[in-house]
Amino acid sequence: MSKTRRVVLTGVGAVTPVGNNVKDFWQAVVTGKSGTARLTAFNPNPFNSQVAAELKGFDALKYVSPKQERRLDPFVKYAIGAAKMAFEDSGLDAEKINLERSGVYIGSGIGGLHTVEAEHAQYIQTEDENKAASRISPFLIPMLIVNMASGLVSIELGFKGPNSAAVTACATASHSIGDAFKIIQRNEADIMAAGGSEAAITKMGFGGFCALKALSRRNHEPEKASRPFDRERDGFVMGEGAAVVVIEELEHAKKRGAHIYCEIVGYGMSGDAYHMTAPDPGGSGAVRCMKIALDDAKINPENVDYINAHGTSTPLNDKMETGAIKAVFGEYAYKIAVSSTKGVTGHLLGATGAAELIACAKAIECKVIPPTINYEYPDPDCDLDYVPNVAREKEVKVTISNSLGFGGHNVTLVLKKFKN
């Protein structure tokens, strides 16, 4: 039987509501600086929720040409920015690697919604149907399709290996990273850039989540609207951005003297088969998912130091996820540090799993567990150690990251402190 190829994380890049690079993102996460404010992209008054975690100061021209800037949807521009940051951070040299053994796996939960809305508005506002049809942009389809983030990143980096894109709502980025991890394990590539990107804060995107009654209505205190596991949580805060990691086969990384953040050791996924948008209250899918990931990693539950929870700040998710953690870890669940960084970043939808995996990698590297901010009122249904409000210095040897998406998609990734 062939030896399992080990996979390590060597590069990180992020474009988030609390920083357009990983340094600023991590600083905000650790210090508990919320990225939520009153929505500015359009007039929020007609909506029941009026707060969001928007990107601030992102300059796409640092990463794409002026022509590309005009022709790409924001979610693709965010992905290219995060991927180029991760590539630079990894120290890879495109002239010294096998580009046919280097791949990309970057998804999006929703894709080019800005493009869809803008093009549709132009079409219906043109009274002459013949003129309306002729004004449809030839870039409409390539601007809106989800796989274009992965496709354009591969073009920008020159990566000619496996290229795909997951589309599993809020589990997208974690599925993308998990699948990329397995691609390297199976010896189908040596290097993968993987993650997710989202730019869905538009009138229809935002309004759709409002209509679902999924978003927080704490409009008078935007910075406190996202409050995972808190008794007064009333919905998630919609965010936007991208996060990408570079992962490599261990010997490939060692040979070039790469900085290794941590090792990826486990990947689990499952389906609830329960409801279109609500999680299974019993948490059976999340339970199976965590167990599969730990089994894949060959790690006992009591060896886990930190869980970066999906923790959306919704009444259903946080209660369910707490119960699922208890079901997997038993009494040990009360000894594990559990936190949700969504209190700071808001919910980045299809990008959230990658941003949270980076937070896990930084927790291992910096020996600091990020807090769950806005935790003020304990909920009897959520009674674990959520690292309330203040970061905690602690050595982290093993951490898991949960991502759960509409449609019943569940993903767990397991990271481990690297040892030769």
Task: Render pLDDT for 105-119 as a digit per residue (tens, 0 to 9).
Answer: 999 999 999 999 999
Rounded Cα–Cα distance for residues 412 and 401 (Å): 6
DSSP 260-306: --EEEEEEEEEE--S-SSSPPTT-HHHHHHHHHHHHHHT--GGG--E
How many other C-beta atoms can be found within 10 angstroms of the C-beta atom of residue 254? 14
* Per-residue DSSP letter, 34: -
Which band of pLDDT confidence, cut at 50, 70 and 90, is reported for residue 3? confident
Helix, strand counts (H, E) of the chain: 14, 14
List, in sequence order, every beta strand (DSSP E) within 135-235. 163-164, 191-198
For the cut 80, the answer to whether the pLDDT of residue 1 exceeds it is no
For the cut 90, the answer to whether the pLDDT of residue 372 exceeds it is yes
- Looking at residue 218, its amino acid is R
* Per-residue DSSP letter, 229: T
Give the residue-averaged pLDDT of 237-259. 98
Cβ-contact 350, 198 below 8 angstroms: yes
Q: Which of 190, 197, 196, 195 is nearest to 160 (CA)?
A: 190
Average pLDDT, the chain: 97
- Looking at residue 300, its amino acid is N
- Residues noted as catalytic: 170, 310, 347
DSSP SS3 for 218? coil
How many other C-beta atoms can be found within 10 angstroms of the C-beta atom of residue 277? 12
Give the residue-averaged pLDDT of 3-20. 96
Q: Which of 66, 96, 63, 107 is nearest to 81 (CA)?
A: 63
Which band of pLDDT confidence, cut at 50, 70 and 90, is reported for residue 178? very high
Window from 122-136, 301-315, 335-349 with minimum mean pLDDT: 122-136
Buried b (16+ CB within 10 A) or exposed e, 185-209: beeebbbbbbbbbbbbbbbebbbeb
Instruction: Please tell me the predicted confidence (pLDDT) of residue 134.
Output: 87
* Per-residue DSSP letter, 253: H
Neighbouring residues of 3: CB distance < 8 A, sequence distance ≥ 6: none
Rounded Cα–Cα distance for residues 184 and 393 (Å): 33
Q: What is the pTM of this model?
A: 0.97
Which band of pLDDT confidence, cut at 50, 70 and 90, is reported for residue 69? very high
Rounded Cα–Cα distance for residues 186 and 4 (Å): 8
For the cut 70, the answer to whether the pLDDT of residue 315 exceeds it is yes
- Looking at residue 109, its amino acid is G
5 Rama class: left (phi>0) / alpha (psi -120 to 50) / beta: beta
Which band of pLDDT confidence, cut at 50, 70 and 90, is reported for residue 127? confident
For the cut 70, the answer to whether the pLDDT of residue 273 exceeds it is yes
Rg (CA), the chain: 20
Give the residue-averaged pLDDT of 49-76. 97
Buried b (16+ CB within 10 A) or exposed e, 120-158: eeeeeeeeeeeeeeeeeeeebebbbbbbbbbbbbbebbe
Which band of pLDDT confidence, cut at 50, 70 and 90, is reported for residue 64? very high
Backbone torsions φ then ψ of 358, nearest 5 degrees: -60, -40
What residues does 38 pair with on adjacent strands? 51
Q: Which of 45, 73, 35 is nearest to 347 (CA)?
A: 35
Beta 306-308 vs 337-339: how paired, if at all? parallel
Window from 7-16, 152-161, 271-280, 304-313 with minimum mean pLDDT: 271-280
Q: How many whole angstroms from its chain centre is CA 154? A: 19
Which band of pLDDT confidence, cut at 50, 70 and 90, is reported for residue 2? low
For the cut 90, the answer to whether the pLDDT of residue 300 exceeds it is yes
